[in-house]
Structure 1
Amino acid sequence: MKITNNWFPFARNRDIKKTNRVFCFHYAGGSSSIFKHWAVSRLPVEFIPVELPGRGARISESCLENFDCLIEQMISSLITVIDNRPFYFFGHSMGAMIAFEAAYQLQGKYGVQPEKLIVAGRHAPHRPDLSLFKSHMSDETLIWELKRLNGTPREILENREIIQFLLPMIRSDYKLHESYNYQGQKLSIPIIAHAGKHDHEANAAVMQHWQQVTDGAFAIKEFDGNHFFVQNLGEEYLSELIRAVSQADYNVREA
């Protein structure tokens, strides 16, 4: 089966033989390409990276800076590719917030929901945002923030032409993030929280609060690394994510 929807650029040819599908939502300043190497046939799980407007394959489109508008457009596309197979949501950083709200809206509007929500590197939606950078701050401050988070290659940060091209998109993502308005939304599905030990704004103590936004089961696990442990751990993290999806009784030690 082919997907022609531009929200899912790496899922043109879907493998309907795979039981489980995971929709993946990226961090601020990223794109679906960070999950491209997960969308391969050798894996037992079908990973479907989600592309937001204004980046990657949709670079010619305008970025969306209103969270409600983004969710409304996105779930109308998601519902067209959800069939009777189980599906899961995975979100990293900003993507965790998007995945949470998409799960909530799908249940409310269409009566469908993911089997599990797996979140990494972001505080729970009802907790205060500890991020140091705000979208009204200068480009120099934003570059300093990118250096602090240590997830952007040095050659990009030191290339003035490239970084000036990327800054507006990254700033738009911060505006999108800041536009989110939590109003007591709560899920009924299991939530699994993954935290980097050295991610001071989203460590295990911070991410423990995700337990409060679901009536379902909750599990949490720490990983070595900073805010970008998902990318930096490579196959090690991917294997853990596949276990979290595939095992109904997925258990991890309490952080």
Structure 2
Amino acid sequence: MTSSPFLVTPRPNPTARSRLVVFPYAGGGAAVFYHWLDRLPLDIELSIVRLPGRESLVDTAPFRDSQRAASHIADTLVSSDRRPVACFGHSLGALMAYETVRELRRRGGQLPYLLMLSGRSAAHVPMRREPVFNLPRTAFFAQLVAMGGMPEEMLALPELLEFVEPTLRADLAINDTYQHVIEPPLAVPFVTFAGRQDGDFPESDIARWAELTSLSFRQHAFDGGHFFINTHRDELLRWVVQHVAEYRPPLAGAAQELPELHFV
């Protein structure tokens, strides 16, 4: 795989049968997924997308639109490494995973064999909440706390808030100003994950990702709000690992039978 600051592979494993490329939620960096490393089997290599404005890229201006971000990520994913790839993204990460795969298709590049989309309404479905990225500072951070994306204790740390604010606003601008451009459905199976108590991205809106794939679709739901990715970490990861193996093309190159459309 091409070496790039936009993609972190904490434990390179060229003998792994497939790669799992994961996309963090707004404000998140590679560290969001470090705890997955010890829970993945040896035949899956984990790579984590890291956008500018965080961690080692903290001095780089963050992206504010999905197309520019997807283009840079696609640049990183295009390589001579032909191992099968599965993608997972949560919230903003789901949107970025989807747009990156569409960008790869425009380039005629290798598409992932599976796209897992978590905690975000389908790209063509208008969001239910009002934009957050352009709120005044006090209201902005209060909304993040209400959404479960920030502990309330952080409100008492003004220097930290000032440090993270530009990246958070930029990430949320990608999400809040996104306009879906109609293209043919992706010839990639979709698996989605939803929080049953997520008022901003309800199960019914997440289920509409089925309209954007020409192959199979499955959905899982968890008790919890938007950040079930943290509160139901082990259960979510079990499903991710199962699907990465289940959909992975067989070594012999034989055609793989995919599950029919259904909901779990």
SS in 1 for 2:47: strand
- Contact kept? 1:39, 1:48, Cα under 8 Å: no
Distance (whole Å) between structure 1 residues aligned to residue 67 and residue 218 of structure 2: 28
Provide the rounded CA distance (Å) in 2 between the counterparts of 1:207 and 1:198.
Answer: 13
The runs of 5 or more residues in structure 1 that have no matched partner are none
Post-superposition offset of 1:250? 6.4
The residue matched to 2:88 in structure 1 has which SS?
strand
- Tell me, yes or no, if the aligned pair for 2:127 and 2:201 is still in contact at 8 Å: no
SS of 1:24's equivalent?
A: strand
The root-mean-square deviation of aligned C-alpha atoms, in Å, is: 2.1
Corresponding residue number in structure 1 for 2:67:
68
The alignment partner of 1:110 has SS state of: coil
Q: Do structure 1's residue 175 and structure 2's residue 173 form an aligned pair?
A: yes
CA distance in 2, matches of 1:66, 1:161: 26
* 1:198-236: CA deviation from partner (whole Å, max 9, x where unpaired): 111222111110000111100011012110111222222
Taking the TM superposition and a 5 Å limit, the aligned residue runs for 1:44-55 are 44=42, 45-55=44-54
- Name the count of aligned residue pairs: 252
SS of 1:198's equivalent?
coil
Return the match for 2:137 from 109, 126, 139: 139
Does the residue aligned with 2:263 lie in a helix, a strand or coil? coil
TM-score between both structures, scaled by the size of structure 2: 0.88
Partner of 1:100: 98
Task: For 1:1-12, list aligned pairs within 5 A.
Answer: 4-9=3-8, 11=9
**In the alignment, structure 1 residue 254 sits paired with structure 2 residue 263:** yes
- 1:230 counterpart SS class: helix
Cα pair 2:196 2:221 within 8 Å, conserved? yes
Alpha-carbon deviations, 1:158-189, whole Å to 9, x = none?
32221222122111111122343311132111
Partner of 1:199: 198
Q: 1:43 deviation in Å? A: 2.8
Distance 1:42 1:138 in 2: 41
Alignment TM-score, normalising by the size of structure 1: 0.91
Instruction: Give CA-to-partner distance per residue, 1:113-165, whole Å, 9 cap, x none.
Output: 00011000101111101233432221112112111111322332332221222
Q: Could you say if the C-alpha distance between residues 27 and 250 of structure 1 is closer, same or farther in structure 2, counting changes exceeding 3 Å?
A: farther
Amino acid at match of 1:246: A
